[in-house]
Chains A and B, each alone.
Chain A
Amino acid sequence: MTASTLRVPKRRRAKPAVIVGGAARAVGILLVVFLFLVPLVWMLLASLKTNLEVVDPTKLFNFTPTINNYVTVLQEQQFLPYILNSFIVATGATAIALLLGLPAAYAIARYKITNATAFVLLARVIPGVSLLIPWYYIFSSIGLVGTYGVLILTHIFVTMPLIVAIMTSFFEGLPGELEEAAQIDGASKIAAFVRIVLPLSVPGIATATILSFIFSWNNFLFALVLSNQNTRTLPVAISNFTSYASVDWGGLMAASVIITVPVMLIALFSQKYVVSGLTAGATKG
């Protein structure tokens, strides 16, 4: 009785502290929003300015938006083929990696092949440049440098470990009873995999596909060495912007918006999947 009467005023006294804490938290959250949003907004604004307005700090927000930079990038710099190249490579690398990675992940999960985890980690640990030297040697001696095939092949190196990692943990969480029931009904294991497991795994496959596409789309190093004028992907095309004597800032920002907007839209519309895929590796251990 005395204890409870004592506690009541205590709680009342704590209230102002809670309010201060709440205000501090609100300020903190606003600061976080500001820090992550402003650079992106800045990029977008600069892409809508003329080059005279970009270099004028007084024209922060008071300017008339123009889409001229985008027209320049798409027409004069001919970015459309680069967009297509990036799309072809990311789609191809994702499709083949799914084809190879889904069965492998399933086998790893069902037969508990533990070495496979180490093997996936190995693919993450190796510096890309150390693979590029032998790749460059081999592919240039058989005349394949600059083809879509080589770009897709090398991007699978980025996409497949990701798909195997995400799908292994997904399959592990899937109860095995359904496949067993299907097998008792006479279906082979592979039929059970194709007709029962895969349809049930759509959320996991969606996660793996989205992340794989994003990672391939963003990859810079492999295409920097292995693409040519015709197969150049977007990140390589953008990096060439700064090699000119004077930088066309408006155009550069328009190109940056063009390359980031597709992946950001994907992330916005499939937020749940992207988050679960990005955190898959860490929360399991």
Chain B
Amino acid sequence: MSLVAQTVAGSIVSGAIYGLVGTGFALLFRASKVLSFAQGGFMLLGAFLFYSLEEHHHQPFLLAVLSTVVVVAALSGLVYVIVFARVAAREAFATSVATIGLVGVLQAGVSIKYGTAPLTLPDVVSAHAYRILGAVVTTADFVTVAMAAVAVGVLLAMLRFSPLGLRMTAVADNVSLSVHLGVSAVRVATAAWVLAGATAALAGIAFSLQSAVDPIGVANVGLLAFPAIILGGLDSVGGALLGGLLLAGLQNTVQATIGSGWVDVISFALMLAFLFFRPSGLFGKAAAVRL
């Protein structure tokens, strides 16, 4: 019984991290049809910036989270404006490929400054653990899930109720018509990169709270989250979180029953199955057109 409870609890925590990475992917895809491989890179940057603020500058937890999110979000927006705005105007595919180069640059930058060995965060949250329905849940687990819930909730509210959200939805629907009607596609894409940077930073912090500040592991989560994004639907922010939870549930179940060697195989097989049979994912929007 406690194995089941622990698997469920673990899935919610891992799913929250996948969800944070995935929401950034979904925002960028909606705004510019760009599949950004750079999310893992910004996650890495967030993890190390947070580590530095805690280890070297001893900032209070909330202030460190806020500073990390603001810096990574601003950097992500800046990279878009300086590097990608011109490429994106021509070709979403070219931008997607160019983001692979950006991950390399971010990874190299971090390893020059911090080395390649995993680092351990100081005790930034209470080490206290709680027993809930037979599962052991740590304070870091609560913090991770809360960060994902708040971030996704704020983003969904923004998309649904704010003028920026309406512009983002319009650009996702028809970019050339949006521009013709006076919407600046570059401003909308910049906002998407800023918000995606913020969610990547939160994902990096959450991952570091759960394991270590590990340059390889953190950047890999950016890739391992792909099945979650395909599962949820590439253009659905809420779907990214639900896809993350479903993927984590599947992975933890496979690990507990068949063995950890099968986790990646089954995850990516599921992704391929979705790409073949339901490319819009569980929650992605299939265009509503009356024939």
Chains A and B form a bound pair: no
